[in-house]
Amino acid sequence: MTDLTDRLTAGGELSDDEWRFLIDGSYDRQILFDEADKVRRSHYGTDVYIRGLIEISNFCRNDCLYCGIRRSNADASRYRLTGEEILACCERGYGLGFRTFVLQGGEDSYHTTEWVGKIVSHIKEEYPDCAVTLSLGERPREDYKSWHQAGADRYLLRHETASRSHYEKLHPPDQTYLRRMECLRDLKQLGYQTGAGFMVGSPFQGTEELISDMRFLQAFQPEMVGIGPFIPHHDTPFATYPAGGLERTLTMVALTRLTLPKALIPATTALGTIHPQGRELGLRAGANVVMPNLSPENVRGQYSLYDNKACTGQEAAEGLAALKETVAAAGYRVVVSRGDAVQTA
């Protein structure tokens, strides 16, 4: 097993059978997680970076079959933060020690090029020592460009699945795999630190699809990778599908760390939602980022991508003191820093 993991870390290609073994095989996962942790420590030591997650709108023009804020969900109660509210979140977050703000939202047409650009410039003027990450879905290249010029440093856009046929089973026909990939290429080319990612255990996903995801990561070399279990939302077409498993998700986190030794990999909220120790286990399997919720408390429940989404306690910015203790107990340390990816040689 460790001959395979060594080859992965050295940037080597693996055969389908070798990938199948690493993803599905019966071997001691603790050995894999320890290997991933070793690689993570060689680049990042024990540092855990925190990001203040501000969920700026849950209006969305898309209709992803898995997502609770899809446009067809008439039962979702919609909200949108004002510019002032977003800046107030940053102010509170800065005081708590956050040096990255993530503005995440559905694809909301209210967010014009200018509106988002102004907020980004504002935040960068007020907090020049902070990074701004955007996660606002698919937009024209010109929007990405103007937001990058306004100072946005990073962009998160999960590829969701690197298999085109699988992508088509998770999305309606007007949301295409090719368009998603085009956006990711645009972001990277414009100079963003770019985040891709996928769900584990999404409907119709088999091992072959996960192998495509790993090969995509190897080829695309994103700076960030978000990986979480699929969790059903009761108001979606996938309401009755089972959630992704803990061990399988941790396996994919660890394999991602080995494939991209210098990546920024969050222990996601979804991982923390399916298991009480999900976040710590994610860190111990190669993750090095946590993204506590910095949204105003009254809207947090509404950003409901899946059922029982954790947004209190250590998932919340106010729970940072407790989160620091949990992280320390797991053997790591929350640091006050922008937390950029270490440079690739």
Q: Which residues contact 239 (CB under 8 A, 6 or more apart)?
A: 232, 233
Give 157 or 260: the residue with its C-beta nearer to ligand 5AD. 157
CB of 76 or CB of 270, closer to ligand 5AD: 270
Question: How many C-beta neighbours within 10 Å does residue 291 have?
Answer: 23
- Rounded Cα distance between 278 and 247, Å, is 10
State which residue, 9 or 163, has the beta carbon closest to ligand 5AD: 163
What is the nearest approach in angstroms of ligand 5AD to the Cβ of residue 105? 10
For residue 116, the minimal CB distance to ligand 5AD (Å) is: 17
Beta carbons of 64 and 306 less than 8 angstroms apart: no
- What is the Cα–Cα distance from 49 to 98, expressed in whole angstroms? 9
CB of 230 to ligand 5AD, least distance (A): 5
Residue (244 or 261) nearer to ligand 5AD, CB: 244
Binding site for ligand 5AD (CB under 6 A): 66-67, 158, 160, 199, 228, 230-231, 233, 270, 305-306
Phi and psi for 232 in degrees, rounded to 5? -65, 145
Q: How far is the C-alpha of 328 from the C-alpha of 59, rounded, in Å?
A: 37
* 8 A C-beta contact, residue 8 and residue 255: yes
* Least Å from the CB of residue 148 to ligand 5AD: 20
Separation of alpha carbons 70 and 63, rounded Å: 4
What is the spatial distance between Cα 137 and Cα 104, in angstroms, rounded to a whole number? 9
Shorter beta-carbon distance to ligand 5AD: residue 9 or 104: 104
Least Å distance, CB 270 to ligand 5AD, is 5
Query: 101 vs 230, which CB is nearer to ligand 5AD?
Result: 230
**Identity of the residue, 5 or 104, whose beta carbon is nearer to ligand 5AD in the bound complex:** 104
User: Count of CB atoms within 10 A of residue 38's CB?
Assistant: 14
Cα distances (Å, whole numbers) of residue 334 to 98, 213, 327: 10, 29, 7
DSSP string covering 188-211:
HHHT-EEEEEEEES-TT--HHHHH
CA 293, CA 307: separation in Å to the nearest integer?
A: 16
Nearer to ligand 5AD, 66 or 332 (CB): 66
Q: Which of 51, 65, 133 is nearest to 306 (CA)?
A: 65
Q: How far is the CB of 158 from ligand 5AD (least distance, A)?
A: 4
Nearest to 212 by CA among 8, 16, 5: 16
Angle between helices 16-24 and 246-259 (to 10 degrees): 130
The nearer residue to ligand 5AD, 93 or 228, going by C-beta atoms, is 228
Smallest gap from Cβ 59 to ligand 5AD, in A, equals 14
